[in-house]
Amino acid sequence: MAFKRKSPFSRVEAINLVKRLVKPESYQPKVDMVLFYKIFAENPDVEFWRVYDLGFQLNSMAWFLTEEGKEKLKIDIALFHLDFPTEKPYTLEDNITGPNIETKTIKKTIADLFK
């Protein structure tokens, strides 16, 4: 007997996730939800799906099953998990480490540039 694994998303949350990705006029609840759970089973990162934004809306969740969709999803997941190291803070010392050199400043005007 196979046990069905409980989804980490509530039903309403899953519907809202799909509606965010699919155009409202082409949203088909039964088809798109089944496809979403299939795609989620292959890429089970809950936090990624909660914040994921394609930048455009799809006609169907079936787009993620195409080669282009799989590649885009793979790249977006990799970018989501990309972690940049934090910059090291540098402290500047108050001590002067070399001799002071005096420089002469020459006042130049715009008219001096054209001479």
Q: Decide if 16 is inside a domain.
A: yes
Q: Decide if 27 is inside a domain.
A: yes
Q: Decide if 6 is inside a domain.
A: no
How far, CA to CA in Å, does 30 sit from each of 33, 48, 60? 5, 23, 11
Q: Decide if 58 is inside a domain.
A: yes
Give me the domain span that covers residue 38: 11-80
- pTM here is 0.64
Q: Residues with Cβ < 8 Å from 75, sequence gap 6 or more? A: none
Q: What is the pLDDT at residue 83? A: 85
Q: Decide if 48 is inside a domain.
A: yes
Count how many domains the chain has: 1
Q: Decide if 112 is inside a domain.
A: no
Q: What is the pLDDT at residue 95? A: 77
Q: Decide if 4 is inside a domain.
A: no
As averages over each run of 10 residues, the pLDDT of the chain (115 residues) reads 65 90 90 91 89 90 93 93 85 77 79 73
